[in-house]
Structure 1
Amino acid sequence: MRILLYSHDTFGLGHLRRSRAIANALVQRWPDSSILIISGSPIIGNFEFMQGVDYIRIPGVTKLTNGNYRSLHLNTSLEDAVQLRQSLILETVQSFEPDIMIIDKEPTGFHGEVIPALKQARMQGCRLVLGIRDILDEPALLIPEWERKGAVKALVEYYDEIWVYGLKDIYEPLAALNLPEDVQKRVYYTGYLNRDMPEIRIPRNYPRIVKQPFTLVTTGGGGDGADLIDWVISAYEAKPDLNLSTLLVFGPFINRSLQKTFLERIAKFPRLDAILFDNKLEVLMQRAEAVVAMGGYNTFCEILSFDKKALIIPRTKPRLEQHIRAVASERLGLVRHLNDDGIRDPHIMVEALERLSTQGKPSEATIPGLLDGLARIEERVSSLLPQLKRESAQDAAE
């Protein structure tokens, strides 16, 4: 079996880490399979993949502060970068000949770059799946965005199944789109993607602070996490005797000048420390007593998987995804959340950090199927395989 995963990765780590978790799970279930990830992430080489999984890195693009995009490294126009990416994706489909192709989040890819590959995959008899996280955005923004991208049209024309990596009882990300009935029948809710501890081949060199009970603060990729980092540091500045050890993980995309300033402030407090990035963050997550995070999809899955007390401080721009997830999960008793009001009173953060010790764990809220995501994905792949075998046999007979 050959499976191809597409992850556009214009910003952050979320799409890549989700694709990696799925790929590693599938190759564990089917050890003789070959799984290939197409990604635009500039740091995909920092991650380890299981035997049977490999990746192709296409030229990166990045989002500017005004919402526009540009080529990340190449000295070329965005249009030329997209054309190159599109050609590489199409050639990969033609050469790799996948049995199943899983597209992450964007039905037509970045700027429509995956459409030619979808057409080619269809001609080759490949099964096409769209995989989306539990929450995309608020309906007022999602509807015009998907109309502009021709996303619903792509669902109708190309996709055999749509996998929602969440629970219907928590949120229905496509409910506002008024999808045709035959498309709605292709939607499967998997539950959240459970995370396991990665294999540690070389001992990790962590700061001394992790040898005692500590709170982990993570901002994912870090490109938009500076406000959270600043707020946590300000809590220690407001209350220097705060009796709580905290490790901050900046993320690989943090602004370098801000990183330097943060480290200078952190150095003044013995109970506060920081690292830039850890490609096996699950290890720190498991060791931590509690977690403070912005609440992106992958971090949320890890909080549930390792059953950690968590405080979520979601971003609200450019999407409300994290805010919607934080509110819904707090309602169910899984986490607590704190809104960033733009003022970021240090004393409010002090109180929030101190309350973590008395907070309940996610496991205290019983929600059936909450972490069944990877198992359900394996079931869906198993259901697609007999169809592929039947069609292959028919083609051979003809």
Structure 2
Amino acid sequence: MKRRLEDARILMYSHDTFGLGHLRRCRTIAHALVEDYRGLNVLIISGATIAGAFDYRARVDFVKVPSVIKLRDGEYTSMASHIDLQETMKMRQSIIRHTAETFQPDIFIVDKEPMGLKGEVEETLQYLKARGTTLVLGMRDVMDAPYLLDAEWKRNNAFQKIDQFYDRVWVYGPPDFYDPLVGLDVPSGVRRKMEFVGFLQRSVSTLGTKSEHVPDEDYILVTTGGGGDGADLVSDVLGAFEQDDTLQHKTLIVLGPYMPAKERNHLIERANKIACLQVIEFDNKMEELIAGAKGVVAMGGYNTYCEILSFDKPALIIPRTRPREEQLIRAQRASELGLVDMLLPEESADPRQLAAALKRLPTRAPPSASGENMRLEGLVHISRIIGDWFDDRDHYPPLSVVAE
């Protein structure tokens, strides 16, 4: 059974300058909503260079804005080297505003960045608020270390603008896991708008063909997400295999589409010398690879963490610690709760220590054995909230129930 909405429209914004996390989170929410509501259309604005590499359900589409990438020092540059960053930002801002004017969404959901990359969605927020669109800011369970987030948000006057523009602030995690604004002086107006919806549960996609990369035998999966900063993790894993020849478990390594070519080629050359290793660059069916694995080694970004919980997989997290501490904080908290094992980057750089951790991984108890309630309720809660909003709008007729 599905409920029907008559020509309801949701616009989502995903700035996507480093990795795939924002787009994958938006896509997950969009797919869940069109699954629950007939007549609903979702459009995602994305800066991801490979936004078109993913499958999308009917009534979910994307608009690609020119790509901007974040460098390791935290600065930004245009993906097209012949176009000035300022010109690229003007194009992005114009496309975002024009898309909103043309699409006329009922709800606008912005992922993580309150005013978008370098403030590019503020003008669109002003326009949509004036026409009565419901404006939602979505936050990860962990944004960053409080001292880093506080400094960034003070520079951008973020709290005042959140209070000014947004109707709701969704936190994509449960309140007892982590508060993304802990340690900050949060205005009462912003606190009142915050709602902890829970982690976003993942499932194996039924869209398109199955992944061609799932090994026929039991395997450990090593994933770096987008891969832009994942070379050290993969290098450490290869070092463990090179150091300890008793480490022979089949291992599938996904480098990520954004790993620099020089690093990628060097790692592939090393991996080719070890028989039990299989290396691929990218798979748009990561849920399938995680679901089939005996254990997962990852940096612990938001999406991978949700997948580890959703498929209840033993996991070893080796978090990135710079320029953001988001992955470190999430890994430390999950490790405290007994949901995952964790090594710091300096620990994983020791081949013997990492080899021992890799040997333990396939027989480690899954997250569910910790006794913690993993709260994979985010998609259900978001769907209910969206339905209630449309029910309450005077210009919308009551939702009807239709059989599929």
Bin the TM-score by the shorter chain: over 0.9
Measured after TM superposition, the shift of residue 72 of structure 1 is: 0.8
1:228 matched to 2:233? The reply is yes
Q: Which amino acid aligns with 1:12?
A: G
Q: Which amino acid aligns with 2:290?
A: M
Distance 1:234 1:275 in 2: 18
Distance 1:253 1:195 in 2: 23
Contact 1:7 1:38 in 2 (8 A): yes
CA separation of 1:280/1:343 partners in 2, compared to 1, >3 Å: closer, same or farther? closer
Residue 33 of structure 2 is aligned with which of 26, 39, 52? 26
Residue 321 of structure 1 is aligned with which of 320, 326, 343? 326
| Other-structure match for 2:388 | 383
| Other-structure match for 2:336 | 331
Residue 168 of structure 1 is aligned with which of 175, 178, 188? 175
Q: Deviations over 1:292-347 (max 9, x none)?
A: 00000000000000110000000100011001000101111111100111781111
CA separation of 1:392/1:121 partners in 2, compared to 1, >3 Å: closer, same or farther? farther
Distance 1:286 1:18 in 2: 18
| Other-structure match for 1:198 | 205
Contact 2:159 2:187 in 1 (8 A): no
Distance 2:303 2:71 in 1: 23
| Other-structure match for 1:371 | 376
Measured after TM superposition, the shift of residue 179 of structure 1 is: 2.1
Contact 1:248 1:274 in 2 (8 A): yes
Residue 294 of structure 2 is aligned with which of 289, 297, 302? 289
Distance 2:343 2:352 in 1: 13
CA separation of 1:286/1:149 partners in 2, compared to 1, >3 Å: closer, same or farther? same
Measured after TM superposition, the shift of residue 273 of structure 1 is: 1.2
CA separation of 1:93/1:201 partners in 2, compared to 1, >3 Å: closer, same or farther? closer
Measured after TM superposition, the shift of residue 369 of structure 1 is: 6.0
Residue 136 of structure 2 is aligned with which of 126, 129, 134? 129
1:117 matched to 2:124? The reply is yes
Measured after TM superposition, the shift of residue 74 of structure 1 is: 5.8
| Other-structure match for 2:48 | 41
Contact 2:348 2:354 in 1 (8 A): no
Measured after TM superposition, the shift of residue 80 of structure 1 is: 1.5
CA separation of 1:101/1:214 partners in 2, compared to 1, >3 Å: closer, same or farther? same
Measured after TM superposition, the shift of residue 76 of structure 1 is: 2.1
TM-score, scaled relative to structure 2? 0.93
Contact 1:295 1:312 in 2 (8 A): yes
Measured after TM superposition, the shift of residue 215 of structure 1 is: 0.3
Contact 1:213 1:288 in 2 (8 A): yes
Residue 72 of structure 1 is aligned with which of 72, 79, 95? 79
> Which structure 2 residues correspond to residues 55-94 of structure 1 after superposition, within 5 A?
55-73=62-80, 75-94=82-101
Q: Which amino acid aligns with 1:255?
A: P
Distance 1:388 1:87 in 2: 30
| Other-structure match for 2:253 | 248
Distance 1:24 1:53 in 2: 7
Distance 1:149 1:201 in 2: 42
CA separation of 1:351/1:343 partners in 2, compared to 1, >3 Å: closer, same or farther? closer
Secondary structure in structure 2 of the residue aligned to 1:263: helix
Distance 1:343 1:376 in 2: 37
Secondary structure in structure 1 of the residue aligned to 2:346: coil
Residue 157 of structure 2 is aligned with which of 147, 150, 153? 150
Distance 2:381 2:107 in 1: 16
Q: Which amino acid aligns with 2:245?
A: P
Contact 1:15 1:104 in 2 (8 A): yes
Q: Which amino acid aligns with 1:317?
A: R
Distance 1:343 1:131 in 2: 32
Q: Deviations over 1:155-183 (max 9, x none)?
A: 11010000000111111111333222232
Measured after TM superposition, the shift of residue 353 of structure 1 is: 0.2
Higher relative contact order (CA 8 A, sep 6+): 2
Measured after TM superposition, the shift of residue 200 of structure 1 is: 5.3
Distance 1:379 1:343 in 2: 42
The count of corresponding residues between Structure 1 and Structure 2 is 391
Distance 1:66 1:321 in 2: 16
Distance 1:248 1:110 in 2: 31
Contact 1:102 1:129 in 2 (8 A): yes
Distance 1:74 1:56 in 2: 21
Contact 1:213 1:245 in 2 (8 A): yes
Measured after TM superposition, the shift of residue 260 of structure 1 is: 1.4
Q: Which amino acid aligns with 1:45?
A: G
Secondary structure in structure 1 of the residue aligned to 2:393: helix
Distance 1:62 1:350 in 2: 34
| Other-structure match for 2:114 | 107
Contact 1:194 1:373 in 2 (8 A): yes
Measured after TM superposition, the shift of residue 390 of structure 1 is: 5.5
Measured after TM superposition, the shift of residue 255 of structure 1 is: 1.4
Aligned residues with identical type, % of pairs: 44
1:16 matched to 2:23? The reply is yes
Distance 1:292 1:330 in 2: 14
| Other-structure match for 1:275 | 280
Alignment RMSD: 1.7
Q: Which amino acid aligns with 1:267?
A: N
Measured after TM superposition, the shift of residue 186 of structure 1 is: 1.0
Distance 2:348 2:190 in 1: 44
